[in-house]
């Protein structure tokens, strides 16, 4: 979107903050979903592996798409993959807490 170095540093800063939040939230989700199963470390390792493969593939795939079809196509491809991941989480990740566990609104 820009070749301004200040903008790129700003985006990278927020990317780091987002990755930190995602790292903490993924550990909490895994702990919640695997509670009492004895599979916490296995699932956490599988998620770490999937994140690493995704990070490596996104660079390779985006580089190929940008080289073949341009920056807009590369950006739209990665953005659509991120949006599909969000929709999978939103639609298929179950809520494990009962509504009674939440405090009543004031």
Per-residue pLDDT 10s for the chain (106 aa) are 677 889 889 989 998 999 899 889 889 889 988 888 999 999 999 998 998 998 888 889 889 999 999 989 988 998 998 899 899 988 887 776 666 666 666 6
Residue 33, C-beta contacts closer than 8 angstroms, at least 6 positions apart: 43, 96
pLDDT of residue 13: 94
Query: What are the respective helix, strand and coil percentages of the chain, to the nearest 5?
Result: 80, 0, 20
pLDDT of residue 103: 66
**Whether 45 contacts 62, CB under 8 Å:** no
What is the Cα–Cα distance from 34 to 37, expressed in whole angstroms?
5
Quote the tokens at residue 26: 């993924």
**Whether 47 contacts 26, CB under 8 Å:** yes
Answering whether pTM is above 0.75, one says no
């Amino acid at each position: 979107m820009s070749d301004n170095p200040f903008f790129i540093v700003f985006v990278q800063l927020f990317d780091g903050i987002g990755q930190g939040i995602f790292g903490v939230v993924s550990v909490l989700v895994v702990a919640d979903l695997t509670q009492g199963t004895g599979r916490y470390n296995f699932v956490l390792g599988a998620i770490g592996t999937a994140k690493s493969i995704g990070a490596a593939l996104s660079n390779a795939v985006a580089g190929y798409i940008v080289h073949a079809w341009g920056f807009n196509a590369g950006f739209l491809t990665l953005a659509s993959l991120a949006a599909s991941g969000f929709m999978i989480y939103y639609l298929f990740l179950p809520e494990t807490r009962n509504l009674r566990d939440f405090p009543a609104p004031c």
